[in-house]
Amino acid sequence: MKRLGYLFYFSILFLLITLLFITNNVFAETELSEKYMTLQDQQGKLITCTVHQIVVGDEYLDSQNNLYRVVKLHNNTAIVKLVRKEKLTASTLSELKDLWSYFINGEFLKGETKVKGPIAIYHTHSDESYIPGDGTSSKFGHGGIFQVGDSLTNAFEKSGIPVVHSKTPHDPHDAMAYDRSRRTAVQLLKRQPTTLLDVHRDAVPPQLYSDVIRNQGVTKVQLVVGRQNPNFQANNDFAKRIKETCDRKYPGFIKGIFYGKGKYNQDLGPRSILLEFGSDTNSKTAAERGAQIFAAAAKDVLYGNRGAGFINRGSMRSLFWIIAALVAGVGLFFLINRGSFKNFGKELTGAMGEGENKKTEEGPLADDKAKENDHSHQKN
Amino acid sequence: MTGIILLILVSLLIFFGMAHRVLDRLYLSDRGGLIFIGAMIVGSFIDIPLSRMPIISVNIGGAVLPLILAIYVLVRAGSVKEWIRSIIGIVLTTGVLYGVNKLYSFDTSRGFIEPQYLWAIIAGVIAYVAGRSRRLAFVIATIGVLAMDIVHILEVRGTNVPTMIGGGGVFDTMVIAAVLAVLLAEMIGESREALQGGPSNDRPEELKEALDHPEGTTNSDTWEHNGKEREK
């Protein structure tokens, strides 16, 4: 039995060490912009390039709303197949409901919107900069990304939308940067914002983000949604709604939606999103113009009532999955520990019976329960 | 808005439900646990500035209260062996967290797991291996993440980068990692015991004695005694 125990510990340590080694053996602060991957379809057509670590099964929604899934990896090339063409538009029923609430709330008659919280902007990677403009891709504590945030702020404010722009630095650019920016995000949440935006830039070849709008060079915008996130469905629907709204005004301006592996603090609210304004190889001026275009195109969904029904459905789906995961997790835990669902059922009815007794004889049984808890600690 | 409100409410209930279950394992009664959670929520709104240059502040709900609880749990550890295991666990976890933070390249573009979950996994696994204890999981996750904040203060000295220790309040990494680490240690421990067919009997006598008679109780107060009484 003792040998089994040692084997168990050894396995856990082995797992931990393996985990350490499968992570990138580079310091997190260094960005390897030259090491990007090319996504192409089975006919060899270029879909996009990314510095994202790609694994089979990853998905990418391009500017034309084609959802691709990675099926094969070969060196720096990921072969993708088209899963489906996504329909980003909300259903007619949802649009009618939005319109109905618009009339019912009296906003149409009053000609003004209700007082809402501001749009909150922060930068997890406060060092991110643009080589053409800042001279470097990373400036410790005061990256060029702050000016892109300023540009976004000014554009919203010009439309009469209040903004809180936090320039709190979260350097160094390591794995704990999101833990530090989480504190800034929570501070911003105390201002009851309508939307929480984490503004970044990417690190891929410039042509992937270059665009021309109104005869001026601008950078496109990529939206990032975290998959390891209890709010995934709601955040994803929010991202789709932003894309759909921008597509109506500037088709192709939203480069796509990338589904990343973390949660990027998006678990803090259904209306939080990560935005990437261009790449480190695009000019900062173009990124600033991109921010203005984005603010003008997306303000209705970021601040207005537009899309409330759509996001609501995402929240309901998230709610369903959270509860389903919870029930499945608890079920599995009891199944492993109690041997069968029959025993689990017995325990459950026993516990409920105890609960009823507890109401009548709370004193002595509560003491017993406390002692039982003490005993269960022995298992530690 | 109903969906969003429901989603937020259920998420909060689940999170605080889990937190309460964890506190239940840390020498706190049900009522004590609820009061503690309430204090953490209220404390989330209070930041105490510690230094202006570099800017350092500490949040009551996200750092001070969990730290007080961790120290309390550590002080109440039953035996010298438990103390030694706790200290080894804390040192080991802080070292591993530091190393992983530097080696693990996480970004929107890189990484395979959300760091907040990774810190909890590291703390939970090391706590179980070092001390086979849920309490130790709480202690080392809390102190491990705090130690990383201290490392951060040293790393950014002379710059304008602030350190808001526990600034996320009840949603701070320190709290979430500690809660998840305890639940993980519990899952590993319970599952392992179930797989090997029950708890092992090779515990030190000193530990058995300390666990059998917590808070200076006598033989008549122990679970075994009560169990026998109930059987009658």
Question: Comparing C-alpha atoms, which of A12, A61, A1, A90 is closest to residue A306?
Answer: A90
User: Does residue A331 sit in helix, strand or coil?
Assistant: helix
Is A243:A223 a contact under the CB 8 Å cutoff?
A: yes
Model pLDDT, residue A159: 92
Mark whether A24 and A103 lie in a shared domain: no
Is B178:B141 a contact under the CB 8 Å cutoff?
A: yes
**Closest chain B residue to A269 measured between Cα atoms?**
B8
Residues of A in contact with B212 (CB under 8 A): 378
Lowest mean pLDDT among B124-128, B206-210, B225-229: B225-229
- For the full predicted model, state whether its pTM sits above 0.80: no
Is A318:A231 a contact under the CB 8 Å cutoff?
A: yes
Lowest mean pLDDT among A89-103, A155-169, A313-327: A89-103
Give the β-pairing of A66-74 and A46-50: unpaired
pLDDT grade, residue A15 (50/70/90)? Answer: low
pLDDT grade, residue B201 (50/70/90)? Answer: low
Mark whether A72 and A162 lie in a shared domain: no
Contact A13 B129 (CB under 8 A): yes
Residue A319 lies in a domain: no
Domain of residue B181 covers 2-199
Mark whether A257 and A162 lie in a shared domain: yes
Residue type, A321: W
d(CA A310, CA A97): 10
Looking at the partner chain, which of A179, A226, A319 has a beta carbon nearest the beta carbon of B173? A179
- Domain C-terminal end among A81, A107, A129: A81
- Domain C-terminal end among A54, A81, A108: A81
Instruction: Work out the percent of chain A whose per-residue pLDDT is above 70.
Output: 64
Residue type, B88: I
Domain of residue A302 covers 83-311
Give the Cα-Cα-Cα angle A47, A53, A59 (nearest 5 degrees).
50
Residues of B in contact with A55 (CB under 8 A): 112
Looking at the partner chain, which of B102, B110, B161 has a beta carbon nearest the beta carbon of A27? B102
Residue A334 lies in a domain: no
* Residue B160 Cα to chain centre, angstroms: 30
Kindly tell me if the per-residue pLDDT of A311 is higher than 70. Answer: no
Model pLDDT, residue A195: 92
Greater confidence (A357 vs B38) lies with B38
Greater confidence (A369 vs B40) lies with B40
pLDDT grade, residue A85 (50/70/90)? Answer: confident
Residue B115 lies in a domain: yes
Is A56:B115 a contact under the CB 8 Å cutoff?
A: no
Average pLDDT, stretch B172-191?
84
Greater confidence (A352 vs B23) lies with B23
Kindly tell me if the per-residue pLDDT of A188 is higher than 80. Answer: yes
Is A38:A46 a contact under the CB 8 Å cutoff?
A: yes
Model pLDDT, residue A46: 85
Mark whether A154 and A64 lie in a shared domain: no
Model pLDDT, residue A14: 55
Crossing angle for the helix pair B173-196 and B2-24, to the nearest 10 degrees: 60
A30 token code pair: 């260094």
Query: pLDDT tens for residues A94-127?
Result: 555 555 554 544 443 443 345 578 999 999 999 9
Residues of A in contact with B161 (CB under 8 A): 141, 169-171
Mark whether A144 and A107 lie in a shared domain: yes
CATH number of the CATH domain containing A182: 3.40.630.40
For residues A316-353, one letter each, b for 16 or more C-beta atoms within 10 angstroms of the residue's C-beta and e for the rest, the string is bbbbeebeeeeeeeeeebbeebbeeeeebeeeeeeeee
Kindly tell me if the per-residue pLDDT of A210 is higher than 90. Answer: yes
Kindly tell me if the per-residue pLDDT of B3 is higher than 60. Answer: no
pLDDT grade, residue A28 (50/70/90)? Answer: very low
Contact B112 A261 (CB under 8 A): yes
Query: pLDDT tens for residues A243-266?
Result: 999 999 999 999 999 888 888 999
**Closest chain A residue to B161 measured between Cα atoms?**
A169
Kindly tell me if the per-residue pLDDT of A17 is higher than 60. Answer: no
Model pLDDT, residue A281: 94
Could you tell me where the beta strands, DSSP code E, fall in chain B?
47-51, 56-59, 163-165
Model pLDDT, residue B60: 94
Kindly tell me if the per-residue pLDDT of A23 is higher than 50. Answer: no
A10-19, A48-57, A309-318, B100-109: range with highest mean pLDDT: B100-109
Sign of CA dihedral B63, B68, B74, B78: negative
Contact B103 A375 (CB under 8 A): no
Chain A interface mutation, best of B5, B103, B109, highest count of A Cβ atoms under 10 Å: B109
Residue A215 Cα, gap to closest chain B Cα (Å): 31
Residue B129 lies in a domain: yes
Mark whether A7 and A60 lie in a shared domain: yes
Mark whether A184 and A298 lie in a shared domain: yes
Mark whether A222 and A179 lie in a shared domain: yes
**Closest chain A residue to B184 measured between Cα atoms?**
A333
Show Cβ contacts of residue A238 under 8 Å, excluding neighbours closer than 6 positions. A270, A271, A272, A273, A307, A311, A314
CB pairs < 8 Å spanning A and B = 235
Kindly tell me if the per-residue pLDDT of B21 is higher than 80. Answer: no
d(CA B107, CA A302): 24
* 55-114 in chain B: CB under 8 A from chain A: 59, 62, 96, 99-114
d(CA A281, CA A203): 7
Residues of A in contact with B49 (CB under 8 A): none
B154 contact A CB<8A = no
Domain count, chain B: 1
Average pLDDT, stretch A184-192?
91
Average per-residue pLDDT for chain B = 78
**Closest chain A residue to B30 measured between Cα atoms?**
A370
Instruction: Work out the percent of chain B whose per-residue pLDDT is above 90.
Output: 13
Residue B191 Cα, gap to closest chain A Cα (Å): 6
From the number of C-beta atoms within 10 Å of its C-beta (0-12, 13-18, 19+), residue B120 rates as buried
H helices, E strands: number in chain A: 11, 13
